[in-house]
A and B are shown apart, each in its own frame.
Chain A
Amino acid sequence: MSQQTLFLLADLLERPPASIEILPGGLKEWVSQDSGVCEDFPFVLVDGHLGIPQKVLYKLYTIAVALYKGADKTLVLILSSIILLANPAHQTALNARKILVREGMLEPKRELDLTSLFIGGSKDCAKQSIIWEHRRWIFRYHYKHAGVAGIGSAECPGWAVSEEASLFPMIPLDVMEKECGLVRQACELYPRNYHAWTHYHWITDAAVAIGASCPQANLYVGFLRGEVVQVRHWIDRHVSDYSAIHLLCNFAVLDRAGAAHLAESGSGVLVDELREHALTLVMSYPSHEALWLYLRASLSFSPSDIARGVIDTLRTQQDIPAHAIEKYILGLL
């Protein structure tokens, strides 16, 4: 493996490809009869989609690390992209790229595009807290702050207080929607993805803050309402994903505090909709701990007489184990 191959990969990433995929194994597994002579060898480029054999990537990583010390800024830009694709937790390489952004050698938009490619194509990237934080840093650098204090307050647990809200970057709505889509993509690639869902919370927290300080507040509330629907549908398809459930319950807290009206019906209360949703799911899939915790959380936000009514309903269901009602729900009352 040569430095030439390293520069070839850097060049392919720079184009950029439509997607990337880390292919298991090495060269042999991916070489067809005629691919040995193609210009992108040892990589696989089909219709703009780039495949990188994992063993090749790791060999290039060791070369990149060896060249990194003492490299000039142009070379650091190239080497750090290879280092991060192979080892996305490499803090020093990420710091170097932030400095390059500050110095104008790397456009923030290009960096967002590249890390988006990495997240969509590598499980290891998709789950790294520091990669998601890198994106937040770029957003904060690239967009001006919301400034005017947002509506987040200490009265709304789980969301930014005013001082924090004023520091959120003014990310345009279409970029936010794309970012939430990236999170969902990362959660398909690496299920129950803690740091991706935490990033999603940050995006929605920013939407709350910006919505409070711009004339198009209704558009941001509309965006949040759309995301509530998206997360509910996500839970229908991923019934063990407590990370998504946690986020949905946080939306209920926001709605209850009057910070944003997020019920699908428009005029109702979100927690009422979530309680019905949780109850339906528990009755369909009573073996899932995540769903019982969903019901527990939604009941904890509900009046006690309604919670008792739900318990009575559960007790009439033959498929619902009594010990589960006792373990997850009764302790609340």
Chain B
Amino acid sequence: MALDIPLHVQYIQNLGQSHDELAYHLTAHLRLNAVYWGLAALCTMGHKEALDREEMIQFVMSCWDEEAGGFGAHPDHDAHLLSTLSAIQILIMQDALDKLDIPRVVSFIVSLQQPSGVFAGDTFGEIDTRFLACGSMALSLLGHLDKMNKEKAVEYIQRCKNFDGGFGSCVGAESHSAQVFVCVAALAILDRLDVVDTDTLSWWLSERQQPSGGLNGRPQKLEDVCYSFWVLSALSILNKLDYIDSDKLTAFILSAQDPEGGGIADRPGNMVDVFHTHFGVAGLSLLGYPNLQDLDPVYCMPADLITRMGLRKGWKALPRRTTTI
């Protein structure tokens, strides 16, 4: 089975056209993130133009929360760091950063850093290493990384390192592949990868590969396509992608495609969604799958764009193959 790029492009184009569906309302709190996932997947598949640029920018700006100075996930939703990062990523990918009130959004992001170094997601104070990575990424993309307390951020990540080499969502929390990605990506942005116990962590990440070829997020959990990105991105940043059986993982991701309607699911036979479609395609890109564009594993954005911005770190993906075999 090969990656059916035209079908997946069509699947993403069709998303969000049925505003009356229950699923549309149930996912409103993730809408801006979903637009980012769709656009990033299209960029990786070489079809950025498949969604209307002006319409997308207009939607992003409609999510601006004037009171907070950040973006909510949907018009009339409260600002949050997750959706604010998505908005920044979309505007950069669409070369529309001129629409953004950069001083205000920088001020919003910086205000969320806590005395411990971690970031809160919003003014109500939920903390998570995800938000620390979002804050670091957003400030780095906007050229204002110097506005955050980098030393305290690194200190907090160090405190989240567990005896298995992995990282959790906060101090004391269990290691989790997605949290490993956010911590390793943040450390890469902060130029402090020396904090990582590379051998132990790479071993732990490689143990996520299951007999099916798919990767799980934690010991004895089911494999899931999205971990193709979380695990591979961390290994790519650590230059250890060869710890994974790439052929088996590629086959697993491809087997989770919907051959009729397009899109990729968490596991073969399950319902597809744009989240798994994006992270499945992202994983395939890092594995050197043919006819895909290079993806920067630190920012999860097109590699050529990040390189042009002067933000590329020393990660390595597998060489781009010319054939699927």
Residues of A within 8 A of B (CB): 58, 61-62, 65, 69, 86-87, 89-92, 95, 98, 129-130, 133, 137, 154, 157-161, 163-164, 192, 194-195, 197-198, 201-202, 205, 240, 242-243, 246-247, 249-250, 288-290, 293, 296-297, 300-301, 331
Contacts and interface: CB of A to CB of B under 8 A. Distances in A.
B176 A194 contact: yes
Nearest to A296: B164
Interface in B31-62: none
A129 B128 contact: yes
B154 to A, nearest CB: 14
Given A95-B78, A197-B174, A297-B164, A65 B126 contact: no
Contact of A198 (B78, B122, B168, B219): B168
A137 B159 CA distance: 22
Given A158-B172, A164-B171, 19 more contacts: A61-B25, A62-B25, A87-B29, A91-B78, A91-B80, A154-B159, A157-B159, A158-B162, A161-B116, A163-B116, A192-B220, A194-B173, A242-B174, A243-B218, A246-B162, A246-B174, A249-B163, A290-B219, A290-B220
A201 B207 contact: no
B269 interface: no
A95 to B, nearest CB: 5
B277 interface: no
A164 B116 contact: yes
Contacts of B115: 163
Contact of B207 (A164, A240, A289): A289
B174 A160 contact: no
A274 B159 CA distance: 23
Contacts of A242: 174, 218-220
B203 interface: yes
A289 B219 contact: yes
A296 B164 CA distance: 9
A191 to B, nearest CB: 10
Nearest to B221: A192
Contacts of A87: 26, 29
B122 A158 contact: no
Contact of B173 (A86, A130, A201, A297): A201
A293 B219 contact: yes
A293 B220 CA distance: 11
Contacts of B171: 158-160, 164
Contacts of A154: 159
B220 A92 contact: no
Contacts of A194: 169, 173-174, 176, 218
Given A201-B173, A290-B219, A86 B78 contact: no
A98 B124 CA distance: 8
Given A157-B159, A293-B219, A205 B172 contact: yes
30 contacts: A58-B26, A61-B25, A65-B25, A87-B26, A91-B73, A91-B77, A91-B80, A92-B72, A129-B169, A130-B126, A154-B159, A157-B159, A158-B162, A158-B171, A161-B116, A164-B171, A192-B218, A192-B220, A194-B173, A194-B218, A198-B170, A198-B173, A198-B174, A242-B220, A246-B162, A247-B174, A249-B163, A250-B172, A289-B207, A301-B163
A166 to B, nearest CB: 12
B26 A293 contact: no
Q: 3 shortest A-B CB distances, which residue pairs?
A: A246-B174, A133-B126, A240-B220
B2 interface: no
Interface in B109-145: 115-116, 121-122, 124-126, 128
B1 interface: no
Contact of A331 (B26, B28, B203, B221): B203
A133 B121 CA distance: 11
A195 B179 CA distance: 12
B197 to A, nearest CB: 12
Nearest to B72: A92
A15 B57 CA distance: 46
Contacts of A61: 22, 25-26
A159 B121 CA distance: 21
Interface in B2-39: 22, 25-26, 28-30
Nearest to B114: A164
Given A95-B78, A297-B163, A137 B28 contact: no
Contact of A201 (B30, B72, B122, B172): B172
A315 B121 CA distance: 49
A182 B175 CA distance: 23
Contacts of A157: 159
Contacts of B176: 194
A98 B122 CA distance: 13
B25 A92 contact: no
> Which of B115, B162, B172, B207 has the largest number of chain A CB atoms within 10 A?
B172
A160 B172 CA distance: 8
A130 B73 CA distance: 15
> Which of A91, A197, A247 has the largest number of chain B CB atoms within 10 A?
A91
A89 B29 contact: yes
Contact of A92 (B78, B175, B207): B78
A301 B115 CA distance: 30
Given A95-B78, A240-B220, A129 B126 contact: yes
A232 B51 CA distance: 53
Contacts of B174: 194, 197-198, 242-243, 246-247
